[in-house]
Structures are given as C-alpha cells and as structure tokens.
Amino acid sequence: MTALDPSSPVAVVGTGTMGQGIAQVALVAGHPVRLYDAVDGRAREAADAIGARLDRLVEKDRLTGAERDAARARLVPAGTLGELADCALVVEAVVERLDVKQELFRALEDVVGDDCLLATNTSSLSVTAVGGALRVPGRFVGLHFFNPAPLLPLVEVVSGFATDPASATRAYETARAWGKTPVACADTPGFVVNRVARPFYAEALAAYEARAADPATVDAVLRESGGFRMGAFELTDLIGQDVNESVTHSVWQSFFQDVRFTPSLAQRRLVESGRLGRKSGQGWYDYRDGADRPAPHTGEPAGAPAHVVVEGDLGPAAELVALIREAGIEVRPEDGYGAGRLVLPDGGTLSLTDGQLPVSKDLVHFDLALDYRAATRIALSASRGVRPGLLSEATGLFQALGKKVSVIGDIPGMIVARTVARIIDLAFDAVAKGVAAPEDVDTAMRLGVNYPLGPFEWSRRLGDTWAYYLLADVHEWEPSGRCAPSLALHRHAEAAEDREGAAS
C-alpha cells in the first residue's frame, strides 16, 4: 500500500504546539489540511500561527511566495468534527489522557469513512488501548512525531495489537512522503526512543544520588567525553522536569514497575519543589536573570609522568597509546593478557572502567569516551584510600593529552560507560521482544534524541561482549537488578564468544 495522495485531505485534531507542527508538515507536503479544536477559536488562532511560520519559511528561502499562498489556501479551520468527514487521515494531538482520546476517536468514527486512517500522536499511552474501543480498530495506528515536528525528522509508526499491516504501511509511507524518516515499531511502553533512552537520564541521576558527581560535572562528562549533544540534567531542564519524570513514571508503571525503569526520588523532589527547568526559571540549574551557571569539577594542573608502560590490549581506549606518544611521553609496551592497563612510573595503574569498583589503592579508573582523540574531558575515579600522588599523576597524564579532568566518586561503571552499556542493553532487549529492527532502533536514537551513535553501532565499535560484562560487574556491586544485563544481551555476548572460539 502506498502513501496517501497529496490531494487527500488530512485533519489534525488538537491545535497546541504539536498539532500545529504536524499540520504544517502535512500542509507543506501538499495536502489540504483541516484544523479542529474543541475550544472555540483555537483552530483559527492555530491557522494564523501556521501562516506566520510559512511567512518565515519564505523569508528564509525555504518556500516561494506562490507555495506559501497555495498552502494557506489549503488550510481550513473546522468548527465541528463533521467538517472532517471526507478526510483520508486524521491525526490526534490532544491531551495525554486515555479517556479523552478514546472519546474523540469514537466520535470520529461516526463522522469519517471506514477507509479513513486514524492516528494518535501519543508519546506515553498504549496505542492499543486508545484504539481498543473503535468499531474498525484495524485502521488505527500511532504516528509519534517529535517536537518541533516541522524540524525533527523522526516519526515512530506504531502498530497496536489490532492494527492492520496495510494501515501501518500506509502510515509509514505517508510519513516518508512528507519528508520524514519513519521507523516501524510495536506498541510497547515508550515505543523505541522513550524506552531505550531511559538510562541516559537514570544513570546521571544515579550518579548524583550516590554523590559521585554534581549535575554540572555529569553533564560535562556526558558532552565532552561521551559525545552527547547535551548532558542529562540540562536536557531534562529543557524538556521540563515534570514532563521527563511523567514519561519515566509511565514507562515504569506500564512495565509493571520493572526495576530497570525505576524513577528517581531526586527528580521527584525537584518536581515537587516546582523547579521544572527552563520554563519555571529553575531546575537543576538556575535560569533567572543574573544567575551563575555552576562549573564542572575540573582538576588543577598536575605534572605528567615521564613514561607509561602499556600492558595488554586497551580495547575501546587503544587510541590513547598514540595520543600519549604524540604528547612526547615515552611509551614502553609490555606483553599482557586480558584487559589492558597503563602502568605509571611509581607502579600505579590506570584502566578503563570495567564495572568494578577501583578498590585497590594502586588503581585509578578512567571513563569511556566516544572518541579519545576528540574528547576534551576525561573522568577519573579511585577508591577513597588511593595512594597519595597516584590520582595527581593520572590527572597529569590526561592533561598532557589536552584533556580536562574531572575526578568523580567511586561508582561502578562511572558515567559514560555505564550509561552507554545500559542503552545498548535496552536496545538488544527491545529487538529481542519484537519492538523494532536493529537498524530502526539505531535510526530512532540518532534522530529522535541526537545520540552520536545508535546502540547497535556502539556495540559493534566497543565489542560484542563489552556491555554485557560491564553490566554484569555493575550488578555485582549493585544487586538491585536495575543494571543486570538482559537475557538478550547475554545471548549476544555468548554467541560472539562462540564465534571467536570457533575462529581460533
């Protein structure tokens, strides 16, 4: 089944920010668009607002004047649902309440034809539940756009339990015809993005609650070492703490309070205090006029070691060897087995975090980086009894490589490594349970939340067993089950080891 013909009328019910954005996308794609809102006058206001945005597109040379005028002529505010009778697609973007959405779609079924595609833009409710009371539930589908809809390319096309494959295909092809990048997924709590993204927020909050690092330091490490566009605390301030917590709570409840999705008490207290982020003036950060932005913890300048001994294979951190040489520090290679490490002149060692705590007084862990050459900050962690001078020498080594250094508390898996491993784990779990294909998960996470790599891309880069063993070690230290690797990730790691064994 192909996309809707551009001559087919499309209706959008609900004229808030998201509804207006979806209407603009359909309008620019060439469809006649009807706007409906239950509040008198809102549809007309929304049409005017969309018209103003079309004017700005002309000013930016993204539309011609003739295209704008034609689009405006195709945009019609509707006073009643009855005016949507001839529409081929109706997209709902009203309040996130199951009863409200169900009542709306029952009313729409009395108006539109049986061949009209009905879609919900819900981000947190079950598509199956929303469409469950319909007379023709097979034509019902989720079309989850991301805000702002005209700018963000991703659309999750969600098949409910009763959705006909032909309806899902038509919705998918229509989204693609509108210039979007659709991904097909099953109706599961959080769909793809809001399910797989939970650890990005959860692990930052866990580090904060464990007093391993303050929000500014966590954010700086995620950005400058992990390669994420924004840190978790600044991103939730932008989203709105109430909105982010609501999605987390919804996913947690929908998975029958699965411990992997447990909400944060610290975020709950922030919401209860009214500190909702940018929109309220305060969240994790203070956005009021004149307020200072807290700086991340950054180590004082320290001396670099004269030489470094490299033992074994550094794995994801192998690039450090070349960087150390380029910094003019002598590298002395030695044979070694297992996980690699850097040995400093006084006998202390540096190793990439493996999920264990750095309990030895002679050991310092460093965090994962997306790209050790491009990273501008590295996090270090050591036990409270670490030998005096070792942490300073480790700091000096990374400073000699041009990196800022943040020393954090001794939390298993640190910040970036733990976050990335959990994202990979939830992605494998989602695919194993039929939520989406691996390539669609990668696309969704790159386009929906701007991750530098998709989870499966990360897994291939880091090694097929890396995430499993890191999470298994984290789980030993924190046996709540929240970080326990999934069966899907275990099977993936086991299969990789079998392949390696057969090849050797």
Report which of 25, 48, 293 is spatially closest to residue 149, judged by C-alpha positions: 25
Q: Is residue 119 within 8 Å of 141, Cβ to Cβ? A: yes
Do 379 and 406 touch, CB atoms closer than 8 A? yes
Q: How many CB atoms lie within 10 A of CB 369?
A: 26
Give the active site residue among 83, 109, 121, 123: 123
Asked about 121 being catalytic, the answer comes back as no
- Assign 3-state DSSP to the chain and report helix, strand, coil percentages, each to 5: 45, 15, 40
Distance CA 55, CA 70 (A): 12
Q: Which residue has the tokens 């039929």?
A: 434
Active-site residue, selected from the candidate residues 8, 124, 194, 250? 194
Catalytic residue among 144, 365, 475, 492: 144
27/33 Cα distance (integer angstroms): 6
User: Residue 208: what residue type?
Assistant: Y
144 is catalytic: yes
Tally the C-alpha atoms within 13 A of residue 345's C-alpha that lie toward its C-beta: 12
DSSP letter for each residue of 252-287: HHHTTS-GGGPPPHHHHHHHHTT--BGGGTBSSSB-
Is 123 among the catalytic positions? yes
Which residue is catalytic, options 92, 109, 156, 311?
156
124 annotated active-site:
no
Buried b (16+ CB within 10 A) or exposed e, 383-416: beebbeebbebbbbbbbbbebbbbbbebbbbbbb
| Contact (CB, 8 A) for 247 and 241 | no
Give the span between the Cα atoms of 253 and 255, in whole angstroms.
Answer: 5
Ramachandran sector of residue 277 (left: φ over 0; alpha: ψ -120 to 50; beta: rest): left
Cα 388 from Cα 470, distance rounded (Å): 28
> Which residues on adjacent β-strands are paired with residue 408?
381
User: Which amino acids are annotated catalytic?
Assistant: 123, 144, 156, 194
